[in-house]
Structure 1
Amino acid sequence: MSGTARAVIQLPAHLRTINWFPGHMAKGLREMRNKMRQVDVIIEVRDARVPVSSMNPAFEAMLTRAATDRYILLNKIDLADPIATKRHVEVMEHNAKIALPDSQTWVFPVSLSDRSFLRKLIKDLKCKAAADPLKYSKMTLMIAGMPNVGKSTLINSLRNLGNGKGKAATTGGQPGVTRAVSGTPIKIVDEPTRIYLLDTPGIMDPQIRDPIQSFNVALTGGIRDHLAGMENLAEYLVFALRVRQREQALVDLFKMPSALLAPPVGAKPTVDPESGVLVEPVLPMRPVLDHVARRIGALEKGGVPNRDRAAAFMVQAFRTGKLGRFTLDTVPEPLATPVRAHEDGEEATNTTAQADFP
């Protein structure tokens, strides 16, 4: 791709906001509110590729009111841009000091397959309980986060490392496997202080207003694929790569002519009437999908390209890191003044602070 400056690339108008908030999520959110008083520590899991989009404003508001200590685990860092992750954490650290003065929040970029980190986490929780035995005759954790960020994997690993027990939570490749707050706390440590945890269903933001944010969540697997549409996800993937001028990843992986990822010959940028900036024409996706289908052998009778299979292959290539390490969320602005979070999510704040284990 040329290194020259180019017109602004806008999200295609037909890629609209995806909202997914089924009944079990609404019920789960109510149950989490009811159980918050029983909880000593929150462990929130987010996807490191979308550390802002995978934050639930309604849960953030709930936590702000409860003033409960929290660990935030940015999972899947092996798939995220390390420089972007570092910048996100710096802003989170700053914001925590302003917005959550009555509690502590620590953030750790992790891979939940790293058992050494999880051992340190268990050790840290034991030390926290031992430091205040009157407060922690027992300790109750709540595992929280949006769908498909790794909560059930975390629970099973903590239980296995803490007391040698097997699976306590069902895992799956699609979001929405866990559908209710666990009725019986799951014991992960027997002594010196008993530590229990509550599993919760993945809870989406009830109203995602920004289509880019909703597609960020969908592209990383947080929304069921059929709700977004596989070809729409592939088109958003191409948009996200082009905005970052990283189309070459697709060119290299699929031996794709770079011209397929450029505006059509003869098409000229238009002037946006509101901003006055030049905007590139929408990129035709059919030639891109047809090329990928031929490369992977996704052909129907008569050699007709199967675009849905091609789109699914492209999306899976992104999700498994074959296109490189990407962070889809931009780094938010640091907070200047405290922001009171509302439970409808309209003014909720993403706030975290980084700390090392003692």
Structure 2
Amino acid sequence: MSIQWYPGHMEKARRQVTEELKRVDMVIELADARVPLSSRNPMLDSLLQNKPRLLVLTKSDMADQHVTDQWLQYFKDEGTEAVALNALQNKGAKPIIEKSKKVTAPIFEKMKRKGIRPRAIRAMIIGIPNVGKSTVINRLVGKNTAKTGDKPGITKSQQWLKVGRDMELLDTPGILWPKFENQLVGYRLAATGAIKDDLLDFEDIAMFTVRLLKSRYPSALKERYNLEQFPEENRELFEQIGQKRGLLQSGGNIDEEKCAEIILRDVRGQKLGRISFETPEDWYNLDEDENIPVK
């Protein structure tokens, strides 16, 4: 299955981002801690160029903590300022301000030398759909200013927001890119809910998710669906889950669509605990054919 989604309003948003960059000191880029590289828009490197940037890994409460620690080390090693944020528990907002001051320090030192009075940091906040941007903004601002939701595409326009005396935020709509060069990226984003569900083949995405869980989180998979042993074939495992959930139709076949929906809902709802869909090692050994399941 080829996963693509690039509606017209995203092209408009891309143009807006390009136009507004000259008005900001830095960019706060949000990525999903469960898929830190898959959820980073590769278009941003060319759009942002040398603009100071802070990477914030959102939804860290949903990701495997051990894997998140690996990612923070990975970004540190490549010279990228990064911080993990548990937005729902209001943890990590202070480090965003502190690291923003760090990455913009050269700009304000230059302004000081020129005799320009200090002012708040002007930052653009950007990320793909459903990365948790509105929730992060609300925690930074301290009130429910931005709309929040579990569906991609909540923010459709730009707006400036004040973060105390330290920062002014320019909110932007989430932007996906025109084509996933590696379809594994699309599968990971689809599994986490970054792409609208009505554009997906649920069964394909669920099969991909089952394979990942079987390989990396077998205990959680067994416990959630009361499984004793895994069959060798992933297709059989998928059907076992459907049987355990009582999704049998007339003729003894399972309701595949309903089974797929339950699996994805359980994963996104943390019914199987904290799960990461990629590790730094995955990107060192990326092999699309080995990771995307077939029916």
Q: TM-score, normalised by structure 1?
A: 0.69
Corresponding position of 1:56? 41
Q: Which amino acid aligns with 1:320?
A: G
Residue 201 of structure 1 corresponds to 173
Aligned positions of 1:72-221 closer than 5 A:
72-96=55-79, 105-122=80-97, 125=100, 134=116, 136-160=118-142, 166-180=143-157, 182=158, 184-189=159-164, 191=165, 195-221=167-193
In the alignment, does 2:269 pair up with 1:308? Answer: no
Give me the whole-angstrom Cα distance separating, in 2, the residues matched to 1:325 and 1:123.
Answer: 27
Q: CA deviation at 1:225?
A: 1.5
Shift, 1:81, TM fit: 2.2
**TM-aligned CA distance change 1:135 to 1:43, over 3 Å:** farther
The aligned counterpart of 1:227 is 199
Query: Which among 38, 44, 48 is matched to residue 23 of structure 2?
Result: 38
1:174 Cα deviation (Å)? 0.8
Provide closer, same or farther for how the CA distance between residues 123 and 257 of structure 1 changes in structure 2, counting only shifts above 3 A: closer
Q: Secondary structure at the match of 2:16?
A: helix
SS at match of 2:146: coil
Question: Secondary structure, in 3 states, of the residue corresponding to 2:39?
Answer: coil
**Number of residue pairs the alignment of both structures matches:** 276
Provide the C-alpha distance between the structure 2 equivalents of 1:116 and 1:239, rounded to a whole number of angstroms.
Answer: 32
- Give 2:268's match in structure 1, choosing from 309, 319, 325: 319
Amino acid at match of 2:153: G
Distance 1:156 1:247, change over 3 A: same
Deviation at 1:304, TM superposition (A): 7.5
Distance of aligned partners of 1:137 and 1:292 in 2 relative to their CA distance in 1, 3 Å threshold: same
Q: For residues 223 and 135 of structure 1, what CA distance do their matches in structure 2 show?
A: 44
Identify unmatched segments of 5+ residues in structure 2.
286-295
Q: 1:298-350 deviations in whole A, cap 9, x for unaligned?
A: 5779997543333222112212322233221231349xxxxxxxxxxxxxxxx
Partners of 1:304 and 1:51 in 2: how far apart? 37
Whole-angstrom distance in 1 between the partners of 2:12 and 2:44: 13
Distance in 2 between the 1:84 and 1:238 partners? 19
Aligned identity (percent) is: 30
Q: 1:113 to 1:30 in 2, by over 3 A?
A: same
Q: Secondary structure at the match of 1:78?
A: coil
* TM-score, with length taken from structure 2: 0.82
Counterpart residue type for residue 224 of structure 2: L
1:262 corresponds to 2:236: no
- Cα separation, partners in 2 of 1:136 and 1:233, compared to 1, 3 Å: farther
Counterpart residue type for residue 110 of structure 1: L
- Structure 1 pair 140–292 and aligned structure 2 pair: CA distance change class (3 A): farther
Rg bigger for which structure? 1
Q: CA RMSD in A?
A: 2.8
Query: Which one has more relative contact order, counting CA pairs under 8 Å at least 6 apart?
Result: 1
Whole-Å Cα distance in 2 between the matches of residues 176 and 55 of structure 1? 16
- Tell me the SS of whatever aligns to 1:258: coil
Q: Distance in 1 between matches of 2:31 and 2:44?
A: 13
Q: Which has the higher helix share?
A: 2
TM-superposed CA distance for 1:49, in Å, is 0.8
